[in-house]
Structure 1
């Protein structure tokens, strides 16, 4: 058995024709166990139970009124459904200007028929303060455009479009946000009461397109999400989540596709991503606050049959201080360029752990880095809260071309990345093949980086 420990090895100097094949007998790998674990997680996830009572948005305002501001009609329809114990709010074909957030309540399905387009106003004054989270810190900020808090049995379904109009007024916030972003970190580290963490007007933290907070039994199905101000779909401290068959075209800064934060029992499947940032990011709070919420890690997550395009396909971190565990990703592929395929990122301020992660049967085209796991993200962090990264399995992965790094595992001397198993990994071209730094128990079986080696040439 080959054990590569605490050193950097096999880094080619600019050679695209580097071949590296290791075949090592690996014990204790239980593929059947992974399949059983996935089945068990999926079986545990509860779908929302929505009453069959139905209303149409057009019952609450004229067509002309809905084109100029549909928010009052949404508010009336949701109040009526809530008073009846819930039901389905159908939005028929048409373009609807929505001047402010849609607040979903328990037992309601927002159903967008084909051709229905929700165009949210980009006037920040229309979005009041609500309790939310911003890059891993709880606070009050502009309301997400579609928002639910402490709800259950909620859904967004159909084949319509949700357009956040994030490329206008909201986009201008990006260049001004840094002082507020740093302030959120300070409030987190100082354990300032959440009720005193007020942002919104006069500040520049952009809202999420969709956020479900402290909620359960959630379904998001079929809808297309476009042009978000910030993260697209944010599931925050929520459970029993099914995301199926949705799609994206969202190219603004920080337009992550799906962000899971303190989330458990999650199924993501049949999703087509086209995002300017992370396609799927699994998070669990930041630094002091995240570690204080260690009882709610992100866990029991299944991702399958997805198509990736954007910045990074699958990310864990960097805000993961409560821990991330029991994640299963399989049977997915890239349909366009990605900067990185698989990216785990944390630093010495975070703490927490990333463990029991199983990734298999993925195919990528051109990426900058294939697999990159670092406990020193951006060289940041000067604390003593080094994250534990362990029990990671990568199997049956294919990369057509890697423009920079093939496989990078980068831990700390006092807390190495350990127990990583890589099997049947094919990287056909790579500028830099393999870097292992502060690792223990890294095992390979049938790993190829560069063209496959043939018969050695004869001595002339």
Structure 2
């Protein structure tokens, strides 16, 4: 009952008592009973307020995310690439065959392009369309050509956290749904012989892209390509939904290997990497969500998984956090195991790293990095049951990456690390470098072990750090007795 209605009801009762013939005692009795009824009613309404919602456990949070990751359906419409003119003889250009097959996929609202055993030269990009799967069978290998002009005209893409128009990624899907890359074959970007040679020439265009970012230049006017020397990604999904990449080997990338950009509902499973060129990250989710990365064999010259969310002004303006990412049962090998940043200005949250091990050396195990140019946040990060061998640093969290930046400190908090082990850390075990005006906060280490280490712990500008069963170096047992 609304308060206004209650007031009108009391007024009517008073008027009734005043003008009726009932005794004063009866009138008071009526009013008293009404007031008791009113008090009990209000008390009942107050007591019916919902109780605070129970905080979900880590496992419950993870499982809620998994419910929203649904594998795309693979089309039954089989299209054999060799029927469109591909030869698989390591000489004939297969690009026209891919183009023809993809036209049919678009006309027929989907298709499964099957690439049988053979070596296929592809002189230009493969642009995937909705409801299409690319099945690269065992014994099949795609080798992309090295003529840069074949990857023009420029397409909408992103480069180190800034939206631009640039050379097409070698395999590219833009605003597509239900897109699949599968099979046991090899995707070879041929970067060492082609685009990777541009690394030493990229600085002017790299700096120009960042300037355009900071000055809010319209994306349509950020046209790179010929003469810019910004290397394209090997595989990129841009503004896509329902993605599966499974089984293939990704090798010799010009730049980042697999880039999920503003995309969602993604599964990456049983992929193998063999990528040793500059900036050969494995998976780079950026502005993306609801992602499962599982059972991956990494072997990369750079980050195995690098979660990103845009750079500086543009990232803060886009305000689309990367979130709900599960990385499990993987084998790490390369520069760093799991990285968040440094381009993460829109924020990163709800990342789960579980039941992973190592297949070789990593410079750092878990690496969270930002600086005061970025802003944004890193929060709700869970690392559970993960082991590494020899590293330089075990866990490294920094708000002052490269010692640069000002004005937009990053909020890093709520990181929960449990059952993490290292054989040795040649430089440092656990490092936290907050910022004086924005400390790193609420970091939990539980059941963490580092068998040998140069510097065990180095924390600056950090608060609410919790240790539970942490052993760095040899575990100390009973104290010796006086002799």
How does the TM-score come out when normalised to structure 1? 0.92
2:317 maps to what in 1? 292
Alignment of 1:375-390 (within 5 A): 375-381=399-405, 383-390=406-413
CA deviations on 1:63-100 (whole Å, 9 max, x unpaired) are 27873200000000011111111020000000000000
Provide the C-alpha distance between the structure 2 equivalents of 1:64 and 1:102, rounded to a whole number of angstroms.
Answer: 16
Provide the C-alpha distance between the structure 1 equivalents of 2:424 and 2:336, rounded to a whole number of angstroms.
Answer: 15
Secondary structure of the 1:50 match is coil
- Is it true that 1:431 corresponds to 2:454 in the alignment? yes
Match of 1:440 among 426, 448, 463: 463
CA contact (8 A) 1:97 1:119 kept: yes
1:235 maps to what in 2? 260
2:172 maps to what in 1? 147
CA contact (8 A) 1:51 1:85 kept: no
Secondary structure of the 1:68 match is strand
Q: 1:418 to 1:64 in 2, by over 3 A?
A: closer
CA contact (8 A) 2:371 2:404 kept: yes
- Is it true that 1:77 corresponds to 2:77 in the alignment? no
Q: 1:459 to 1:31 in 2, by over 3 A?
A: farther
CA contact (8 A) 2:86 2:93 kept: no
Match of 2:439 among 411, 416, 419: 416
Match of 2:294 among 269, 284, 293: 269
Tell me the CA shift for residue 207 of structure 1.
0.5
CA contact (8 A) 2:118 2:141 kept: yes
2:33 maps to what in 1? none
Provide the C-alpha distance between the structure 2 equivalents of 1:453 and 1:181, rounded to a whole number of angstroms.
Answer: 51
**Deviating more after overlay: 81-90 vs 306-315:** 81-90
Alignment of 1:28-67 (within 5 A): 33-61=57-85, 63=87, 67=91
Provide the C-alpha distance between the structure 2 equivalents of 1:159 and 1:132, rounded to a whole number of angstroms.
Answer: 28
Tell me the CA shift for residue 413 of structure 1.
1.6
CA contact (8 A) 1:66 1:73 kept: no
Tell me which of the two structures has the higher relative contact order, counting C-alpha pairs closer than 8 angstroms and 6 or more residues apart. 1
CA contact (8 A) 1:90 1:110 kept: yes
Tell me the CA shift for residue 459 of structure 1.
4.6
* Alignment: residue pair count: 429
Larger Rg: 1 or 2? 2
Match of 1:114 among 117, 127, 138: 138
Which consecutive residues of structure 2, in runs of 5 or more, have no partner in the other structure?
1-53
Tell me the CA shift for residue 455 of structure 1.
2.6
Match of 1:160 among 161, 181, 185: 185
Tell me the CA shift for residue 131 of structure 1.
0.5
Provide the C-alpha distance between the structure 2 equivalents of 1:373 and 1:428, rounded to a whole number of angstroms.
Answer: 20
CA contact (8 A) 2:301 2:335 kept: yes
2:281 maps to what in 1? 256
Task: Name the structure where helix makes up a greater proportion of residues.
Answer: 2
- Is it true that 1:312 corresponds to 2:313 in the alignment? no
- Is it true that 1:216 corresponds to 2:229 in the alignment? no
Tell me the CA shift for residue 168 of structure 1.
1.6
Tell me the CA shift for residue 43 of structure 1.
1.1
2:225 maps to what in 1? 200
Provide the C-alpha distance between the structure 2 equivalents of 1:380 and 1:32, rounded to a whole number of angstroms.
Answer: 38
Provide the C-alpha distance between the structure 1 equivalents of 2:196 and 2:435, rounded to a whole number of angstroms.
Answer: 37
2:472 maps to what in 1? 449
Provide the C-alpha distance between the structure 1 equivalents of 2:477 and 2:73, rounded to a whole number of angstroms.
Answer: 59
Which consecutive residues of structure 1, in runs of 5 or more, have no partner in the other structure?
1-29
1:176 maps to what in 2? 201
Provide the C-alpha distance between the structure 1 equivalents of 2:310 and 2:87, rounded to a whole number of angstroms.
Answer: 43
**Deviating more after overlay: 47-56 vs 116-125:** 47-56
Provide the C-alpha distance between the structure 2 equivalents of 1:255 and 1:344, rounded to a whole number of angstroms.
Answer: 18
CA RMSD of aligned residues (A): 1.3
Alignment of 1:391-410 (within 5 A): 391-410=414-433
Alignment of 1:89-108 (within 5 A): 89-108=113-132
